A and B are shown apart, each in its own frame.
Chain A
Amino acid sequence: QITLKESGPTLVKPTQTLTLTCTFSGFSLSTSGVGVGWIRQPPGKALEWLALIYWDDDKRYSPSLKSRLTITKGTSKNQVVLTMTNMDPVDTATYYCAHVDYGDFRLDYWGQGTLVTVSS
């Protein structure tokens, strides 16, 4: 079965760079039609779509955050890494990764999420 899990720091300081890793199983990011996306959710607020990487290494970003985001395949075949530069307290949120079906872009499997707090 497909599972995903996010990992990374729980606390970062303002201006620092956040690096999150999504480790997955049950699918391969080398398989045509597969993608992994990142979504975040500030406490008590709505979901925000961040970025997506496809099996062919095509990448898409939220325009409002594009200058700060980088999504890559990890050194392990079952990992995707998201980096966000110049962190600010407003970036405090639970960050989720999800399996994306390329055919209809549905986010059909999600990780449990990881809460990242930005504070000095």
Chain B
Amino acid sequence: DIQMTQSPSSVSASVGDRVTITCRASQRISTWLAWYQQKPGKAPKLLIYAVSSLQSGVPSRFSGSGSGTDFTLTISSLQAEDFATYYCQQASSFPHTFGQGTKLEIK
């Protein structure tokens, strides 16, 4: 299985801050990388797919980048509704593994 490692595991930030979350794959996954946001008690929501493609309806303050094994999710200016847990997922090979999650908390 491809291992996905996110860092940090948790981060505290304030509204208006720029935040970057990193995801590293244990082997090259080309552009088969997606990001999901999950709020407590809710299903995950797709934010970004194919590394940098924004899912319809997702605000443009979310962006993704990277290639090979290293990827980032950036939130350019945090809003109150962005405080949640974020997961990366690879779709290069089965099983389509997820990272362990990054919890974004209010400072």
Contacts and interface: CB of A to CB of B under 8 A. Distances in A.
A26 to B, nearest CB: 14
Contacts, number: 68
A54 to B, nearest CB: 12
Contact of A110 (B45, B55, B98): B45
Chain B contact residues: over half helix, strand or loop, or mixed? loop
A10 to B, nearest CB: 16
Contact of A63 (B38, B55, B91, B95): B95
Contacts of B46: 106-108
B50 A47 contact: no
Given A46-B98, A50-B95, 13 more contacts: A46-B100, A47-B36, A47-B38, A52-B94, A60-B94, A60-B95, A62-B95, A96-B44, A104-B32, A104-B34, A110-B43, A110-B45, A113-B43
16 contacts: A47-B44, A47-B89, A47-B101, A48-B98, A52-B96, A62-B94, A63-B94, A96-B43, A96-B44, A106-B34, A106-B50, A106-B91, A107-B34, A107-B89, A108-B55, A110-B45
Interface of B: 1, 32, 34, 36, 38, 42-46, 49-50, 53, 55, 87, 89, 91, 94-101
